[in-house]
């Protein structure tokens, strides 16, 4: 079983992401409501993939992404940025800082499942 960590300050979005991914085989879903909680959960949950919002209290999602990419034990974890930010500069910043995929809200559940499946090489 592989864990997917869903990081978003909105409980509604976390539920929507979880509902979109629950049909995937061989995964466990974990949730964090902010960036600091996400960093704490990295060591505890050892996720195979992170779905990460950018605009959150306590710690911006880009800071979480930089943390993941700066530490050897987390560097290889795929990160899907899922945000309301549509602008080219934010997208470029996320990808330049190591995001594996960049998706915007509202999101297509099938597209999210496909991105997760591709990144985790699920059948």
CATH number where 78 lies: 3.40.50.2300
Kindly give the confidence (pLDDT) of every residue in the chain, 123 residues in length, as a single tens digit, with 9 standing for 90 and above: 999 999 999 999 999 999 999 999 999 999 999 999 999 999 999 999 999 999 998 899 999 999 999 999 999 999 999 999 989 999 999 999 999 999 999 999 999 999 999 999 874
Cα-Cα-Cα-Cα torsion 52, 85, 105, 119, nearest 10 degrees, comes to: -40
Give the residue from 112, 123, 115 showing the smallest Cα distance to 14. 112
Q: Is the peptide bond before 106 cis (omega within 30 degrees of 0)?
A: yes
pTM of the model: 0.96
Tell me which residue range forms the domain holding 57: 2-120
């Amino acid at each position: 079983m592989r864990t997917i960590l869903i990081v978003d300050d909105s409980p509604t979005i976390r539920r929507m992401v979880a509902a979109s991914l629950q049909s995937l085989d061989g995964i466990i879903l974990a949730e964090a409501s902010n960036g600091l909680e996400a960093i704490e959960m990295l060591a505890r949950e050892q996720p195979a993939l992170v779905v990460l919002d950018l605009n959150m209290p306590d710690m911006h999602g880009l800071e979480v992404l930089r943390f993941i990419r700066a530490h050897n034990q987390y560097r290889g974890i795929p990160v899907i940025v899922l945000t309301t930010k549509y602008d080219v500069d934010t997208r470029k910043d996320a990808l330049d800082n190591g995001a594996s995929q960049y998706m915007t809200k509202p999101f297509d559940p099938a597209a999210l499942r496909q991105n997760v499946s591709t990144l985790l090489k699920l059948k």
